[in-house]
Structure formats: C-alpha cells, structure tokens
Chains A and B, each alone.
Chain A
Amino acid sequence: MSATTSITDDAGAVERTRALLTTADSGRRRADRAMTILIYGAFLLAVIPLVSLLWTVVVNGVERFDGDFLFTSMRGVFGGMDMGGAYHAAVGTLMITLTATVISVPIGLLVAIYLVEYGRGALARATTFFVDVMTGIPSIVAGLFAFALFTIFLGPGAKLGIIAAVALSVLMIPVVVRSCEEMLKLVPNELREASYALGVPKWLTIVRVVLRTSVAGITTGVLLSIARVIGETAPILITAGVSDSINFNVFDGRMMTLPVYIFSQYRQGPVPCREDALDCLVSINFDRAWAAALLLIIIVMLLNLIGRLVTRWFSPKLR
C-alpha cells in the first residue's frame, strides 16, 4: 500500500515538475493570451473602416449608377435637377491617365533596365535612393511643379489635361520603376548568359529575352501603378481645373476627372429646394458623388484584379 502511494506521489511530483518545465506560469500565459486578443483585435479594427467604406459607397452609389449617369455630362445641369452624369469625368480620367501612362511607362521601364542591367557606381546608387524618395512626394507638390513648369510657357491661367498628365507622371514614374525593377530582377541570369553565349548583343538580349520573360510582371506593375494614380485628386484639381463638358483633347482646355468630379459635387453640398418643388432633389450632388465614387472604386478594383490575374496567367513557368 505504502509503496503504491509513494509511487503515485512520485507520479504527481513528476507531473508537477513537467508542468512547471513545459508550460508557462499563469501570469505569462495571461500576458500571452491578452496579446493574442489585442493582435486579433487590431486586425478587426482595420477591417471595420474598409467594410464600412465599401458598404456605404455601394449602398449610396448604386441608386444613381445607371446608363444615364455613365453616358451624360454635367453640361446645362444646375440646381437640384434630377439629371447629369459623370461621362465627361470618365473621359477626362481616361485621357489624362492614358497620357500619364504613355509618358511614365517608357521612362520608368528604361530606368528600371538601367538599374538592373547596367547600374553600377554612384549614379545608380543615387537613382535607387531618389526613386524611393520620389515615391514620397506629396501629390499636391507634384501638381504645383507641373503648374509652375507649364505656366512659364503658357501663362498663369493655363489649365490643360497635359499639365495634369505631367503631374501624374511625376507620381507614377517611381512606382513603375520600383515594380519593373523587381520583375527584371526575377529573370534568371542563366537566360541572359545563354543569350550572350549565342552571340546576341546585350541590348537585343534585354529586349528579346529579359523583357519578353518579364512582360507579365511588367504589365501587372503598370496596371497597379495606373490604379495608384487614377484616384489622385489634388494635382488634377490645380492643373486641369473643373469642367462640365466633354473634352477629349488633353492639349486644349479644362478637363474633368472622376476624383475631381466627386470632390466638386461634394463641395456643392445640399441643394436649397423650394418646399413644393417636384423636380428638385436636395441630396442630388451627394448622390452623384457617391455614384462616381462607386465607379472609381470599380475601376481601381478591376485594375488591381486584372493586374493580379495577368501575372497568374501569363507568367512563364520557370520551374
């Protein structure tokens, strides 16, 4: 009997010792659990604004989001009229962003090629550093720069789509450089060496082998950088101004873009309507702003989605 009790006592002691050695004491365990809860809480806290924002944009925007909104401009629309749309803004966004892309992508790609294929020495180091610094230029400063540059030639009142496109390019080039650089670095050196071994000159190797291999990644990078600048408001507001009419020409006259449209509708605020007015909507400006916000978010999300799908579908299977 005594032997068995001592054995069970021993077993209990062993258990206790093992528990002592393998598990944390309650205070430390409590700290661990508290931090786990806090960290899960931090994540939930970040999801709340995202869900709230997407929800309000969809609910408020879907009301006016129809063909009429997408294909009419604001020309001749005033007061609380139940009409008018964002066609002119969509056109302006398309033209300005397209022009900015045409300017930024070649420059950005060449800089990326320089950094990856040629970059040695002080110039390369400086370029890498200042590309990073340029990604942090405030968008309004880019707008001021484009304004200061063009108004020297065109006079102080110049408001053109091309000025906005230049401002966006200043913001876009570093993003394009960064993403293209990452993609070019992913191209295995064996491919370059194989090409050199066949006697292909370096520039042809870069164009035909390196760029061909990384074209999917570069496309993704370009699409994501477009998604990044398409929502810029402040630089366009001060360089292309505000307009109510459709304008396809970036070299002539003011242009509206979707973000500026959202802002200008928001700024106009509620419409003062007469009590008995039937064709006057008090909240029409906000409704249009929400619908345009929905359109903008759809465009940005589509660009992001297509960008990711392009990599998934077209990236070369290296291994």
Chain B
Amino acid sequence: MTTTDSPPDAKPGRLKPPARRRNSGDTERGFSRVFRWITTGSGAFLLLVLAAVAVFLIARGLPALTASPDELSGKGGLPTGMNSLWDLVGPLVFGTLLAATMALLLATPVAIGIALFISHYAPRRAASVIGYVIDLLAAIPSVVFGLWGGRTLAPIISDVWVWIAGVLDFLPFWTVNVTNTGRSLATASVVLAVMVLPIITAVSREVFLQTPTLHEEAALALGATRWEMIRTAVLPFGRSGVISAAMLGLGRALGETMAVLMILSPGILYSFQIFDSGQQQTIAAFIASRFAEASGLAVNVLIATGLALFVITMVVNMGARAIVARRKEFSGAN
C-alpha cells in the first residue's frame, strides 16, 4: 500500500519548494527571522560589552589623567613624594610584569613537562585521571590560594629564600636583601605559578595530542628514543601552541589579585629585590587594597591604573589568540 501511495505524494512535494522559493525569495519567514535577529543581536551585544568596558574605564579614568599634580597628590591619594600619575603607574606596571614574568618562568617548564606526561608518558587510563587532577587545581578559588600562600607556604618557603639569598651573596654590586616572613614577591610568584600551571598545561596538552601520529612513528622508525621523538616531532609541532599557552598564562598572572594581595607585603618601588618585603606591588592588588577607602579623584586614579592593566592584558591575550588562530589555519593536522 505504502509503495503505491508514496509517488503521488512525493511529486507535488518535490515540485512545491522551488515554486515557494521563487515567490518569497527567502525561505526564512515568521519567527525564524526574529530569532536570527535576536541571536545576532546578542553576538553584537557581547562586542558592545567589551567596548563598554574600555569606554567606561577611559571615561572614569580620564579625570585622573588630566588632573594637575597638586590635585593628584592631594585629593588623588597618591603616596607622598609622587606628583604625577606615571610615578604611581610606572612602578605598579613594573611590579605586575615582574611578578607575572617570574611566575611564567617557573610555571612554563613544569607545565610542558606535565602536558608531555599526560600526552606521551602516562598510561592512557591514568592520563585522563591526571588531567582531571590538574583541572582541579584550576578550580580552586584564588582567595584560597592566597590563604594557603600567606598562612602555610610563606613561613615554609622563607627558609628557602634565605638560603638562596645566602648563596647569591657572592654577587658583586648587588646585595640580596631577604625577609624572614616570606611575604615577598618571590613567594607571590610561586603561588601565581601554581595558579597558571593548569591553564598552560591544558592548552599545551591539546596541542601535543594533535601531533600527527605519522611524524611520531617516522621518528621512532628511524631509531629515535622517546625523548628524541618528542624533541624532533612533538615539540616543533607544538611550539606555537606552547607560546600562546604561556601568553594566556601570562594574561592570567597579570590580572591575578587575591594571591598577591594576601601574600605580598607591598611597596611602590622599581626594585629587583624579589626576596625582600615592602618593595613592589602589582596593579590588581593595589586597586583592591585601596578601593574601599578611596573617594572622589582617588577612585579615578585607581580606575586609571585599572585601565593600564586592562590594556596590558588585552594586548597579551590578543597576541596569544592571534597566534592560536594563525596556527589553526596553517596546521597540517586538520
């Protein structure tokens, strides 16, 4: 029955769509069009939000940028001895970059190691468990890292810093000061390193797993050991991925507030005394520590420093994303 019925049914069905399309010129009608507008609008809204972040920060930071030195040191709440905004922002940018760079230098080699461990060394079943453990590290809130860093890590690690400072004592032209409390930029950087570790690991792991199997097998067939295979096939393939992963980690470390705020004993200096307290401060921690008491122009000053942080992290992140995007286009793996 069905076989005899279907041809007459199918025929008008096959004929109708072209006719309808000719009539309206567009198959999209009714709520479908509204729905497309709604979703497209929310896409545009997202871009608007990002633009709004920049616009509002600029608008509210502008009074601080245009204020006279007298106003800044009076109502602007600048620390004594400073009479322009750059006197404040400069050392803060320096401290932020120093802390983030040190964190990155500590975290990247370890993260690459873990990523290789998961992708090429660990047994298959263990690898997913280990990946989950590393993700756990990413899920822990930064304030808990700060609490742990300030209460547990700082007293322990200060002995290590004292020892390192003792070893470095032979250096001429440079005396290494060291604090016994452990509340130094070095400790903060170690905690920051632990916090960015999961990000760098996650991205690098994905890249390493994408290495073409044929490259790996070719290397092994030529008699390479496992490490030589990784060095000749995996690492060159993953280089740009690792670089962008490190930059993403850098972006995270630059903006991290609580760990630095709770561990570091701050100062506002251009100083490389990373084992001493009262030397450097980062932008994010500075804003968080001053914001509650600030009012009037002081708020504008803080927002202007926040704008500096926003610009730095945007540049770093966009750089990282651009590398990732370019890699996607030219990669032979897909």
Contacts and interface: CB of A to CB of B under 8 A. Distances in A.
Contact of A43 (B109, B130, B135, B287): B130
Interface in B52-98: 52-53, 56-57, 59-60
A139 B302 CA distance: 15
B227 A31 contact: yes
A297 interface: yes
Contact of A293 (B135, B147, B153, B228): B147
Contact of B46 (A118, A149, A173, A232): A173
Interface in A187-228: 201-204, 206, 227-228
Contacts of B38: 110
Nearest to A169: B49
A305 to B, nearest CB: 10
Interface size class, chain B: 35 or more
A115 B114 contact: no
A131 B251 CA distance: 15
Contacts of A174: 46
A202 B38 CA distance: 13
Given A53-B140, A111-B39, 18 more contacts: A38-B113, A42-B112, A42-B114, A46-B134, A46-B194, A56-B148, A107-B42, A107-B45, A111-B45, A114-B39, A114-B43, A119-B43, A123-B40, A136-B248, A145-B53, A201-B31, A238-B292, A301-B139
Interface of chain B: mostly helix, strand, loop or mixed: helix
A145 B19 CA distance: 53
Contact of A130 (B31, B47, B197, B302): B47
Contacts of B257: 138-140, 233-234
Interface in A113-165: 113-115, 117-119, 123-124, 126-127, 129-142, 144-145, 148-149, 156-157
CB-based closest 6 A-B pairs: A231-B141, A138-B255, A42-B113, A203-B35, A136-B317, A114-B39
Contact of A42 (B110, B144, B251): B110
B101 to A, nearest CB: 16
A28 B59 contact: no
A250 interface: no
Interface of B: 28-32, 34-36, 38-40, 42-47, 49-50, 52-53, 56-57, 59-60, 109-114, 116-117, 121-122, 130, 133-137, 139-148, 150-153, 194, 197, 201, 223-228, 230, 248, 251-252, 254-258, 261-262, 284, 287-288, 291-292, 295-296, 299, 302-303, 306, 309-310, 313-314, 316-318, 320-321, 324-325
Interface of chain A: mostly helix, strand, loop or mixed: helix
A253 interface: no
Contact of B59 (A114, A148, A300): A148
Contacts of B223: 21-22, 24
A127 B292 contact: no
Given A38-B113, A123-B43, A140 B287 contact: yes
B136 A50 contact: yes
B114 A46 contact: yes
Contacts, number: 270
Nearest to A289: B147
Interface size class, chain A: 35 or more
Contacts of B141: 230-233, 259, 296-297, 300
A28 B144 CA distance: 44
B39 A141 contact: no
A309 interface: no
A297 B143 contact: no
Contacts of A39: 113-114, 116-117, 121
